[in-house]
Amino acid sequence: MMKDKMKIAALVPMRHHSQRVPGKNYRPLAGRPLYQHILDTLLACPEIDDIVVDTDSPEILEGLDRQYPGVIALERPESLRADDIPMNEILLHDTAQVQADLYLQTHSTNPLLRAETISNAIQALVSSYPAFDSLFSATRLQTRLWDELTRPINHNPAILLQTQDLPPVYEENSCIYIFTRENLLRRRNRLGDRPLMFKMEADESWDIDEEIDFLIADAILSQRLK
């Protein structure tokens, strides 16, 4: 298979309800429903062939039908709507509905993610496939980390280095995953045997999980859009 001919589908799961930030996926952020920001970002990526939204939200389904007719809408089955359903089971369902060589998964809760960054991630994996068989995005941390037993993880407390001189560690930030259905079926995991870590900037990796995250993302995006 020619690398430049690989079909790529973007998967964006969106729940109707949210425990910590009620209605966050369709709540207005920077003047528009939250979910619209990631869809517009994905639409600006020329490498992506299909965009697929898996949701149980009547409001989002109606919005997709009205404003995003080119986006594939999958209504999530009742059997996959419980809070304790693993994301990998939802992805297995979605990848069975839409054929692609590679699947990119992101979230509506990553509204600060830029199209250029997504394109760069796709190109990074495609250019190194199959030496690397999957990709995940990560954010560099240079700060003093401790475990719950008060043991230093990445520094020697007896040597007070400036934080910028500490050896970096990397946090999996859940912004971008790229994988094949074959690996998802075999491992029940988005990461294959040889994942590529894609490093990205912290200002794009903000994930909306709490109310304070929503307020900060709204302020940052509103300023960016000006």
Is residue 141 within 8 Å of residue 168, measured between CB atoms?
yes
Map residue 40 onto helix, strand or coil.
helix
pLDDT classification of 83: cutoffs 50, 70, 90: confident
Write out the E strands in 19-86: 28-29, 32-33, 50-55, 72-75
Higher pLDDT among residues 112 and 226, named by residue: 112
Q: Record the pTM.
A: 0.93
Tens digits of per-residue pLDDT, 104-156?
A: 999 999 999 999 999 999 999 999 999 999 999 999 999 999 999 999 999 99
Measured CA angle at 15 (ends 13, 21), to 5 deg: 120
Q: Write out the two tokens for 225.
A: 């859009």
What mean pLDDT is predicted for residues 33-46? 98
- Whether 191 shows a pLDDT value over 70: the answer reads yes
Task: Single out the residue of 110, 108, 105 nearest to residue 220, CA to CA.
Answer: 110
Task: Write the pLDDT tens digit of every residue in 49-78.
Answer: 999 999 999 999 999 999 999 999 999 999
At residue 19 the predicted structure's pLDDT band, cuts being 50, 70 and 90, is confident
pLDDT on residue 4? 56
Q: What is the CA radius of gyration of the chain?
A: 19
Domain boundaries, the chain: 3-139+172-225
Q: What is the pLDDT of residue 94?
A: 98
Nearest to 141 by CA among 74, 181, 199, 88: 199
Question: Which CATH number applies to 3-139+172-225?
Answer: 3.90.550.10
Query: What residues have CB less than 8 Å from 62, skipping those under 6 apart?
Result: none
Confidence class of residue 1 from pLDDT cuts 50, 70 and 90? very low
List the Cα angle 101/103/104 in 5-degree steps: 145
Burial 152-180 (b: 16+ CB within 10 A, else e): eeebeeeeeeeeeebeeeeeebbbbbbbb
